[in-house]
Structure 1
Amino acid sequence: MKITETVQNGESLNIQIQHRLIEKLTATNKELLTINSFAEAIQGGKGTHEVVDSMVKKLNSLLGFTDCEIFLMNDSEEYLIQSVKFMDGYCQTDIEYPVIFKIGEGLIGEVCVTGQAKIIADAFQDKQTESGCSLSEIAIPMTHDDRKVMGVIHSRHPKKDFFQESHLKTLTTIASMAATKLIQTKNHERIAQYQTQLEEYVHIVSHDLKSPLRSINALLAWIKEDNKGKLDDETLGNIKLIDNTLLQMDNLITGTLNYSRIAYSEAREEVVDLNHIIHEIKGLLHFPEHISVKLDSDLPSVIGDSTKFLQIFQNLIGNALKFIDKPEGLITVGHVDRGEYYEFSISDNGIGIERRYFHKIFEVFQSLSVSKDSSGVGLSIVKKLVNYYDGDIWLESTVGVGTTFHFTIKKN
């Protein structure tokens, strides 16, 4: 009888242990699902307001926090300012008079200083909160890798002892994820601001540099017109040199502007027929009668920005045009399907390039010729654009025979 009771007690204990394990696994699984759902919700946010808006809405739907708000540290790190508030089913991001807490002030300010989450079971009994109408509060610091507090997640609930350790554990993980996302968002916003400022600066510099060039060019034209028939050949030759120098400077400024735009210009995603691009280039560039362009096969269509592909092919074909010295010039455009990439080639029968200059020509402001049309930026632009599409560029050349530029573009 005693043996039977012992066995039954043992079985009962095993069942209890199994139930506890199941409960623990269920709770863990629920926590993971909550965290994953929250991560997905904030991942698509592009701006700070969009991210914090998603945060409080998701906290409401996942955990039932009907009164939740996010406080973010200001730039000078002197105080926390209410960024978004979710209450009674309404999310408010454009707060006219946001609540502000100094560092160390109240529950939110204290959590910011200590970097430790805190639960207040009964706010009525705690003078620190000054909530007036809430019975239970929780505050979680949003910290990044360096443990620096970026902000605080704060929630109230009209029920005493509502917030539990399980909330604390889940929210701590969520707060860490949110901090990482906010760091990324703020960096992107900062970069976008710098890019806008850079674009404005480049345009101003470009205008300010080109204006005196135009003035000098106009003055030279007036001098030539006013002194028609009076200037000797040497003087006219010097004026022509000045004209050529002005043109070089103008091309250099334009090239610099185009090069700087690549890093921050917004790229479109569209289907680009490269055969149409080549046809368009034939109308844009001046082709002497003795130079022809041919395709060794139909080019593929690619996904990307048509303007960027136009720049790539126009710069390479234009570069070939400048250095063809044969009575019958030929530029050949071809391609090979490399599986994950397309490999394109542009060949000419020009003067060729010495091997020691192969890498130099892709550097900004490096030109191997004294051509008035060469700014030393064109091939640098090509390299930067090819890299933009996860490709590479290289060349093969024989002096006196010709040059072939190869570049790859990754398929989408």
Structure 2
Amino acid sequence: MHKRNSRLALAVVATASAGALLAGCAGGGGAPTTEDGKAKVIFWQQQFEDYQQAWFKEQVNEFNAQSDDVEVQYLVVPADTWDQKLKAAQAAGKAPDVKTTNYGNIKPMQANGQLADLTTLMDDEAFADIAENIKPFVSVDEGVYGYPLLVEPSTVLFYRADLLEAAGIDAPPTDWDELVDDARKLTGDGVYGMNIAQTAPDLGWSSWGLQYNTAGDLPLRGDWSTADATDPAYEELLGLYQTLYTEKLMPQEPTYGYADCSFFGEGKVAMSACGSWALGQLSQNPDWANVWENTEVAPFPSHNGDQTLPTSTLGGWTLTVDSKSKSQEGAAEFVEWLLADDTDRLVDFFTATGFSKYPARLSVTEALAATEEASASPFLATITEQIVPYAKSEPAYPWDVSLAFATAIEKAMKGGDIPAALEEAQAAIEDVIEKQKLAGTGTGG
């Protein structure tokens, strides 16, 4: 018998023996149950694209229909009220049993004792199927504290094949010298050669992969005791942004944020850095049909041309089980059924995304690639084979650290002295370490 089923069976027997006294409540410390005696599991999903809500709702209904022991009650929470609602529920002792959680929150929440270790609740085979470079996103020591649904590369190079051909460029750039040279050739007639983030809030998260690319690490490393923002390797990174901006090879005003690929869709730039989600944005706008039919993707260039070095981080979502949940067994059964079992269920999900999001499980990646729709996608193989395997996790340290370093990038981009900007970032990060008592609390990134 599976771990989850053996424990759940004991829980159901215990609940049944308590009789109607416990039905529908958590009296006596037991797991809450429905009127018909099923273990009640509350699932909160942060609101995403409409197709995701439709998919989750369909899966919850299917799970409930086939389960004799567990009933999932599903709630969609708008993103702008998520933090407030979740904190209020936690303070009242009414946190959801299962919730969507992004990778960056796994380690901080685990350190605070908020997440259950899924290895004690789910079958071992479920964890063996998670891609090797994604396992560290959800793991602490030997435990696994979130089961991944998807990954989204934060940095993909989108380019206009027709404009590159017209400029005599026969392939997308693979290193930063080529990127700048191509951007120079492509800039003219109202079109910029390149687009990339240019404000500190956007630079804070969109440059993580490129920080890894030049320095092999982030400006706060190890156990977070000391800052490394003055690592000379970062000077090359800041120099790239400075060249693109000061030579006017990119838009000079941040009309759109980094996550919005409208500069590219509107035909104002020939190449653009953006996340994989832009595939959905570009393909669904009928006004951009001419751009879309000429769009190709490639890994963002590496500083030295080595395309096995990271240029992107992987954002994405997991399902986690609350450590204080009285329905942990039922919650884990739902998570395993939804995300770690039938590959067809997840193939349907990733097909619905328009291949703008990507599996975290090896078996799902293989099953997806074998479908007719995926075979017809001109982008799936490039992103899943050339970008995702080399991408890094988002850092777990406080956002203030990322913003401090991003402020240095923005200052340098606008023409500021690069070593001076890095010195300012160093001081700012050291101040964060001291004020937030980060020294010795690091998780390695």
Confirm or deny a common fold (TM above 0.5): no
TM-score range (shorter-chain normalised) is: under 0.3
Q: More strand per residue: 1 or 2?
A: 1
Asked which structure has the greater RCO (Cα within 8 Å, sep 6+), the reply is 2
Bigger Cα Rg: 1
TM-score where L is the length of structure 2: 0.23
TM-score, normalised via structure 1 length: 0.25
